Structure 1
């Protein structure tokens, strides 16, 4: 009887941990984000827009569309100077508008707010919202107010379509799907698996366990990012760290089970 009671008691205390699973729908908490400190620089002057983005972008700021290469989500961009403190950028792919951003610098010049609509998802789902950047480098003399160096802050509002994902596990198989249509089914510690529904992400490799694994994301044969996902013991939160290999930056945030 004593032995049976001890076994039952051990099961009671172990079962919450055993029950914890990544299975389900998760929503990222934007306010939990720890964002990169590496700035992005912009220069809007003498009829030209330049961004130190990856890859770098330099086009006329004349409101007309200009061809760009090596970008999976868009192939044309137009930049319009709205006024002394605002810029509008519009991106197209195959002649269709897929993204719009309006950036407005505050009166004191210390922050810039971006309002955006992103329709790059192959399933047509739009992501909308606003974000705030903090100035870390002054605008050169004679340049537009948005010129200078900026870092992103976690002062942001993003629609659920850009924050919500679903995971499922069965044995050593993991399935993933986003509201924007990206999806995969991959074997833990197995070979590379295909990703569908995202032109900027075509392959994935997983290494670890169903509750703590490293996801390597590829575009063709090139590693784009490495993501580490660790499930909390209570199964209610998921800590995620993403290393952007193209930009050399790291972002961390928490997602909560819905």
Structure 2
């Protein structure tokens, strides 16, 4: 009896220490641009006879006349314009309620095998930039613009810090996330949706533990838009996140270093 009583007292003393122990996810993390890996599922573009299409998420099909054209399926954007600058350069601009949400300039190399892109996005939390390179994986029909064909995003050269840094804090069964772009949430680790602020394309998020991984499911108007699974290395120095964007199921793998 005394042994059981002693064991119970010991457990009661240890429980607060366990509850207060810092989670491996706690802290500020910064994504290493050089280690970003994008799904091998190619982006297919057609650009011929004044028409532009892309199997993006959601798909885009508009006239390539530099004018704003309505699109559906993207909560962040309601119009897109595609302007052909020259035989190797195209500028795409997305707007929401008449305000520019993003601008992307893509330049195809003279040999047509690679292309570089410079993208600027605008959020309430500020402006962000990213530069990267695409590699051609399939050519386009004769007579098409140089940008037409199938492409794989092979690397990123740089990105704004506000796109790379984020902070997590776990307290018991509750997790809080914030980043410099003004995005944040506080949720219980029970998989139940809670409000997400700062991103026009996400209004709810559900968070839960799946084994040693923390899983975030982002939603908009009741539909899943992305699922992110995060795992931390045994030494606690790196976090690997695999993001599956919906509904196209394109994956992006991000490796972040603890700051």
Please state which band the TM-score falls in when normalised by the shorter chain: 0.7 to 0.9
**Structure 1: gaps of 5 or more residues:** 1-17
Instruction: Please tell me whether the aligned partners of residues 185 and 196 of structure 2 are also in contact (alpha carbons under 8 angstroms).
Output: yes
The yes-or-no answer on 1:30 pairing with 2:33 is: yes
1:59-113 per-position Cα deviation (integer Å, ceiling 9, x unaligned)? 1111111122221111111111111100011111111112111100011111110
Q: For the structure 1 residues 190 and 52, does the alpha-carbon distance in structure 2 shift closer, same or farther, using more than 3 Å as the test?
A: closer
1:188 counterpart residue number? 189
Displacement after TM superposition at 1:139 (Å) = 2.1
Contact 1:116 1:129 in 2 (8 A): yes
* 2:101 matched residue in structure 1: 98
1:81 corresponds to 2:70:
no
Q: Which residue number corresponds to residue 24 of structure 2?
A: 21
| Alignment-derived partner of residue 40 in structure 1 | 43
Q: Is there any run of 5+ residues in structure 2 with no aligned partner, and where?
A: 1-20
Report the counterpart of residue 225 of structure 1 in structure 2. Answer: 226
Q: Secondary structure at the match of 1:140?
A: coil
> Separation in 2 of the partners of 1:212 and 1:49?
40
In structure 2, what is the equivalent of residue 11 of structure 1?
none
Paired residue total: 240
TM-score by length of 1: 0.87
Q: From 107, 112, 115, give the equivalent of 1:112.
A: 115
For the Cα contact (< 8 Å) 1:21–1:211, is it kept in 2?
A: no
Q: CA deviation at 1:234?
A: 2.3
For 2:100 and 2:60, locate their aligned partners in 1 and report how far apart those are by CA, in whole Å.
18
- TM-score in terms of structure 2 length: 0.87
